[in-house]
Amino acid sequence: MDNRNIILKAENITVGYGEKDILHGASMEVRKNEIVAIIGPNGAGKSTLLKTIFGLLKPSRGTIFLEHENITGLSPDAIARKGISYVPQVDNIFPSLTVKENLEMGGFIRKEQTAERISEIFRLFPVLEEKKHQRAKELSGGQRQMVAMGRALMLDPDILMLDEPSAGLAPKFVSMIFEKICEINAKGVSIILVEQNAREALTMAHTGYIFVTGKNVLHGIGKELLENPEIGQLYLGG
Ligand SMILES: Nc1ncnc2c1ncn2[C@@H]1O[C@H](COP(=O)(O)OP(=O)(O)O)[C@@H](O)[C@H]1O
Ligand SMILES: [Mg+2]
C-alpha cells in the first residue's frame, strides 16, 4: 500500500488495564485525508487502541507517531492540542449543559475562535442551532451524537477518532451520521472510525482494519475487504 502521507502511526502497541494486556503488538496507520475503519468482534481491543492513541492508557511497548513526532505517553490534553480529537463511545457529552455550552466546553483550549467554530458546527449540523439552548439530555440519540462530534470538532482537529458513533441509533440516524462523517472528511479531516456496522463502515472507508483478540489481523482497501468472501463470512454476517 501507498506509504506516503502517513500522518499517524501506531506501531506494535502492547497495552492493557493493570496487569492484563489487551492489545498484543497492534499496529495501524492513517494517511492524510483518509477514513480508516476499524472493525472486529466485541472485546477485540478497538476502544483500547483509541484510548491509547489519545493518551488515556500508556502502552508498555510500542510507539505512536503523529507526523514524525513520537507522542507516546503524552497527556490527552497535549495530544488534543496537537490536533487529535476523540469521541468516546459513552459519556461523550455533558447531559445537563445546553448544546451551546457543550460546544463551548469543547473549545476551551482555543477560546479566541469559539464563536467562529460554533457557527461552523451549526452549518454542519443545522439541527443543533435550532436546539442550542436545550439541555443535551433532552435530545434524541442521533442529536446527542452530533453534539459529541461537534464538541470534538471545536478544536479544528487534523484527525477525528470516533468510537462506534452509530451504536444504538435508529437506521435513519445511522445513515445521517455516516453522511456527516464523509462531509467532515471532505473538509480535510482524517477519520479513525471504530464501528459495529462493519458493512457500512467498510463501504465508506478508504482503508479498513480488522482487529481480533488484541491484534490487527488484516487490513486493506475498504471495498476490497468487503468483497473478500472469507471476511464476509467471519465478520460481516455472511
Ligand atoms: N477499564 C477497563 N478495565 C479493565 N478491563 C477493561 C476495561 N475496558 C476494557 N477492558 C477489557 O479489555 C478488552 C477489550 O475491550 P475494548 O477495547 O473495549 O474492546 P472493543 O472496543 O473491541 O469491543 C475487553 O476484554 C474488556 O473487558
Ligand atoms: Mg469498543
pLDDT confidence bin for 63, thresholds 50/70/90: very high
**Triad 62, 66, 72: Cα angle to 5°:** 35
**Triad 66, 67, 73: Cα angle to 5°:** 25
Residues with CB under 5 A from ligand 2 (ion): 47
Report CA(180)–ligand 2 centroid distance (Å): 21
Cα distance between residue 23 and residue 214, in whole Å: 4
Report CA(163)–ligand 1 centroid distance (Å): 13
Report CA(112)–ligand 1 centroid distance (Å): 37
132 and 65, same structural domain? Answer: no
238 and 204, same structural domain? Answer: yes
134 and 38, same structural domain? Answer: no
7 and 102, same structural domain? Answer: no
58 and 24, same structural domain? Answer: yes
| Residue among 14, 20, 21, 22 whose CB has most ligand 1 atoms within 8 A, to mutate | 22
Give the residue numbers spanning the domain of 115: 90-155
Q: What's the rounded mean pLDDT across residues 191-208? A: 94
Domain final residue, candidates 117, 135, 155: 155
Domain final residue, candidates 155, 181, 198: 155
- Global pTM reads 0.95
163 and 130, same structural domain? Answer: no
Report CA(89)–ligand 1 centroid distance (Å): 12
Output the domain CATH number for residue 44: 3.40.50.300
CB 36 within 8 A of CB 193: yes
CB 159 within 8 A of CB 190: yes
Domain final residue, candidates 155, 171, 203: 155
Average pLDDT, the chain: 93
Asked whether the predicted pLDDT for residue 37 surpasses 90, the reply is yes
Cα–chain-centroid distance for residue 12?
20
Using CA atoms in the order 106, 92, 46, 229, what is the torsion angle rounded to 10 degrees?
A: -100
94 and 149, same structural domain? Answer: yes
115 and 138, same structural domain? Answer: yes
Total number of domains in the chain: 2
Kindly list the protein residues whose Cβ atom lies closer than 6 A to any atom of ligand 1.
17, 22, 42-48
Query: Whose alpha carbon is nearest atom 27 of ligand 1?
Result: 43
pLDDT tens sequence across 86-129: 999 999 999 999 999 999 998 877 677 888 999 999 999 999 99
1 and 79, same structural domain? Answer: yes
79 and 10, same structural domain? Answer: yes
70 and 8, same structural domain? Answer: yes
118 and 59, same structural domain? Answer: no
CB 179 within 8 A of CB 35: no
Using CA atoms in the order 42, 44, 48, 53, what is the torsion angle rounded to 10 degrees?
A: -120
Q: Could you tell me the CA-to-CA distances from 104 to 85, 213, 233 in Å, in that order?
A: 15, 38, 45
